[in-house]
């Protein structure tokens, strides 16, 4: 490739070790001006380490980093780094207790005589900065009131205000709904037109095809390939990431257990937020509930499993009516749950895999009235084997696992009680493609055992394994799609557009 301008960043022969672990082995990346470059790889491929090195938070053990053809500044010169590159991390670097304006100018507040901060001038600077990048946020509001989307825009504006025209986005879409992702992409395209170079990290491959023009694949700490996105098919990209072919499962069209009994019956359920749903699901059936961020899909799922107390309606599992808003009762009735946010509700990070997996089923690991460590470990080993959790022993704290393996532990916990009804809320959020394959593969096994599975998600890969998908918009079920739908059709319905009637 010939280009008169030197690359924005050139990282070559980068090796980085953490103790005995090699995070990057002779890896690297070249990003050219004006492009939107995707960095992909499975969990543990070295993406985060590479980002750490590109942003000057870590020094490579070997190899060099150059910006615009010049060697990178010393690690201690934060200001120099910030004027070259900025990263919007998955974990927020916004301080919730402070106002948006102060967050934008943290540690570089506008000062007047006596080196005292001038809050008025600071606020006006913030207003100007936000207006310049058309971010519709009041600088006076506390940052804690920002939505995920607004927070990202504020972080992007802050990064640009340091003069950096190269921005790394670490899984920016992980917590956004479909509409939010569209707005983010529109903004990113805008930035690109204004000459900003982007490095985009995502687990969602279709997003890479939507927004990126170059892609770099890392695998097992090594650089595998850098090429134009258009030149690399989806299947080829997945193989480059995994080193083998991965096929995500899909439900066969029109498979519906004919004479199976109704296992889950939800009648006139109304959540506190006003979302409504009624549904019946058969034993051995996989039902999806799809919808955008404000569709109410998560709320109805939480009401079904008892995490939230519904305003009205009943839930019956295998003939037993669940007590509203009562999780222990739901567990007792044979409900297994993978909650929306694994960090918040899914597991206890300091406890071991064994303790987490068996948390909901103390009865099954009891022996003469006391918990039996042997039985607990046996059950946990089973889960580790079934779900291909990457861990040497059940005694490893969950905090030490990668995101995909943590989610498998949460799935293991949901399965520990051999549930009749398995409810999965966004089960593959933020996990790599291989873990996704395992997690979705488990659903098929559960289904074959005669259980009902409810998948609540807006992720098409999750919904493809459903026998039918209920689509919710603004708290109502607006459509039911039997498997075999096209991606466009389902997305359009989730966005409230019916392609059949346009």
Q: How far is CA 442 from the centre of its chain?
A: 19
Residue 21 or 144: which CB sits closer to another protein?
144
Stretch of residues binding another protein (CB under 8 A), selected from 19-27, 39-47, 74-82, 441-449: 74-82
Q: Using DSSP bridges, classify how beta strands 468-473 and 452-456 pair: parallel, antiparallel or unpaired.
A: unpaired
Q: How far is the CB of 136 from another protein (least distance, A)?
A: 4
Residue 54 binds another protein (CB under 8 A): no
Residue 194 binds another protein (CB under 8 A): no
One residue of 5, 21, 64, 134 binding another protein per CB under 8 A: 134
Q: Rounded to the nearest 5 degrees, what angle is found at the Cα of 42, between the Cα atoms of 40 and 48?
A: 70
One residue of 13, 17, 32, 109 binding another protein per CB under 8 A: 109
Residue 26 exposed, middle or buried by CB count within 10 Å (0-12, 13-18, 19+)? middle
Q: Please spell the DSSP secondary structure of 70-103, one letter per residue.
A: EEPPPTT-HHHHHTT-EEE-SS--S-TTSBHHHH
Q: How far is the CB of 401 from another protein (least distance, A)?
A: 21
Residue 138 or 459: which CB sits closer to another protein?
138
What mask, x for binding another protein by CB under 8 A, covers residues 89 to 108?
--xxxxxxxxx--x---xxx
Q: Which two tokens stand for residue 178?
A: 């479909």
Residue 89 or 185: which CB sits closer to another protein?
89
Q: How far is the CB of 106 from another protein (least distance, A)?
A: 4
Residue 96 or 362: which CB sits closer to another protein?
96
> How far is residue 357's CA from residue 353's CA, in Å, rounded to a whole number?
6
- For residue 133, the cross-strand partners are none
Stretch of residues binding another protein (CB under 8 A), selected from 119-127, 352-360, 367-375, 434-442: 119-127
Residue 115 binds another protein (CB under 8 A): yes
| Phi, psi angles (nearest 5°) of residue 87 | -125, 130
Residue 190 binds another protein (CB under 8 A): no
One residue of 4, 19, 71, 116 binding another protein per CB under 8 A: 116
Q: How far is the CB of 41 from another protein (least distance, A)?
A: 23
Q: How far is the CB of 158 from another protein (least distance, A)?
A: 9
Residue 187 binds another protein (CB under 8 A): no
Residue 111 or 449: which CB sits closer to another protein?
111
Q: How far is the CB of 92 from another protein (least distance, A)?
A: 7
Q: How far is the CB of 138 from another protein (least distance, A)?
A: 5
Q: How far is the CB of 72 from another protein (least distance, A)?
A: 17
One residue of 33, 34, 142, 496 binding another protein per CB under 8 A: 142
**CB 211, CB 196: distance < 8 Å:** no
Residue 118 binds another protein (CB under 8 A): yes
Q: Rounded to the nearest 5 degrees, what angle is found at the Cα of 176, between the Cα atoms of 198 and 412?
A: 110
Q: How far is the CB of 141 from another protein (least distance, A)?
A: 5
Residue 111 binds another protein (CB under 8 A): yes
Q: How far is the CB of 14 from another protein (least distance, A)?
A: 21
> How far is residue 188's CA from residue 194's CA, in Å, rounded to a whole number?
10
Interface with another protein: number of residues (CB under 8 A): 43
One residue of 2, 4, 20, 136 binding another protein per CB under 8 A: 136
Residue 116 or 502: which CB sits closer to another protein?
116
Residue 102 or 302: which CB sits closer to another protein?
102
Q: Which two tokens stand for residue 329?
A: 């009762």
Residue 121 binds another protein (CB under 8 A): yes
Residue 149 or 432: which CB sits closer to another protein?
149
> How far is residue 139's CA from residue 129's CA, in Å, rounded to a whole number?
10
Q: Please spell the DSSP secondary structure of 141-198, one letter per residue.
A: SBGGG--HHHHHHHHHHHHHHTT--EEEEESTTTT--HHHHHHHHHHHHHHHHTT-EE
* End-to-end CA separation in angstroms for the chain: 45
φ/ψ region of 346 (left if φ > 0, alpha if ψ in -120 to 50, else beta) reads alpha
CA distances, 222 to each of 54, 58, 414 (Å): 16, 18, 35
One residue of 135, 215, 396, 443 binding another protein per CB under 8 A: 135
One residue of 125, 276, 377, 467 binding another protein per CB under 8 A: 125
> How far is residue 496's CA from residue 494's CA, in Å, rounded to a whole number?
5
Q: How far is the CB of 59 from another protein (least distance, A)?
A: 16
Q: How far is the CB of 81 from another protein (least distance, A)?
A: 10
**CB 143, CB 130: distance < 8 Å:** no
| Helix, strand, coil fractions of the chain, as percent rounded to 5 | 35, 25, 40
Closest Cα partner for 471 from 287, 329, 348? Answer: 287
Chain contacts with another protein (rule: CB under 8 A): 78-79, 82, 91-99, 102, 106-112, 115-119, 121, 124-125, 127-128, 130-132, 134-142, 145
């Amino acid at each position: 490739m010939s280009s008169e301008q030197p690359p924005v960043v050139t990282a070559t022969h980068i090796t980085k070790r953490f103790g005995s672990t090699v995070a990057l082995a002779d890896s690297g990346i070249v990003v050219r001006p004006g492009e939107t470059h995707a960095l992909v790889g499975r969990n543990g491929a070295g993406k985060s380490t590479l980002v750490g090195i590109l942003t000057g938070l870590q020094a490579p053990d070997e190899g060099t980093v150059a910006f615009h053809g010049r060697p990178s500044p010393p690690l201690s010169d934060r200001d120099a780094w910030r004027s070259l590159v900025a990263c919007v991390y998955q974990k927020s670097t916004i301080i919730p207790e402070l106002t948006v304006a102060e967050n934008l100018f943290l540690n570089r507040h506008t000062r007047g005589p006596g080196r005292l901060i001038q809050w008025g001038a600071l606020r006006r600077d913030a207003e100007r900065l936000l207006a310049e990048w058309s971010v519709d946020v009041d600088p006076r509001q506390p940052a804690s009131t920002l939505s995920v989307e607004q927070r990202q825009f504020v972080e992007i504006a802050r990064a640009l205000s340091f003069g950096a025209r190269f921005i790394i986005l670490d899984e920016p879409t992980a917590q956004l709904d479909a509409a939010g992702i569209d707005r983010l992409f529109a903004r990113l395209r805008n930035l690109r037109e204004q000459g900003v170079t982007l490095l985009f990290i995502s687990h969602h491959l279709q997003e890479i095809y939507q927004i990126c023009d170059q892609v770099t694949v890392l695998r097992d700490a090594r650089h595998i390939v850098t090429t134009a996105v258009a030149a690399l098919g989806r299947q080829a990209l997945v193989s480059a990431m995994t080193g083998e072919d991965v096929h995500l499962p899909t439900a066969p069209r029109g498979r519906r257990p004919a004479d199976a009994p109704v296992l889950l019956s939800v009648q006139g359920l109304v959540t506190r937020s006003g979302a409504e749903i009624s549904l019946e699901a058969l034993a051995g059936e996989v039902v999806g509930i799809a919808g955008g961020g404000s569709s109410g899909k998560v709320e109805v799922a939480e009401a079904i499993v008892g995490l939230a107390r519904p305003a009205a309606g009943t839930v019956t599992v295998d003939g037993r009516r669940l007590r509203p808003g009562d999780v222990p009762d739901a567990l007792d009735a044979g409900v297994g749950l993978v909650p929306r946010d694994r960090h918040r509700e899914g597991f206890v990070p300091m406890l071991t895999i064994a303790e987490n997996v068996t948390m909901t089923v103390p009865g099954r690991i009891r022996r003469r009235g006391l918990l039996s460590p042997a039985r607990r470990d046996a059950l946990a080993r089973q889960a580790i084997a079934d779900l291909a959790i990457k861990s040497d022993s059940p005694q490893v704290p969950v905090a030490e696992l990668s995101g995909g393996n943590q989610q498998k532990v949460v799935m293991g916990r949901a399965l520990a009680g051999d549930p009749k009804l398995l409810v999965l809320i966004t089960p593959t959020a933020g996990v790599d493609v291989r873990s996704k394959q395992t997690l979705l593969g488990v659903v098929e096994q559960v289904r074959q055992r005669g259980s009902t599975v409810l998948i609540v998600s807006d992720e098409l890969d999750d919904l493809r394994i459903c026998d039918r998908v209920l689509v919710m918009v603004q708290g109502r079920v607006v459509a039911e799609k039997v498997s075999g739908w096209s991606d466009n059709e389902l997305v359009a319905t989730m966005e409230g557009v019916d392609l059949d009637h346009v």
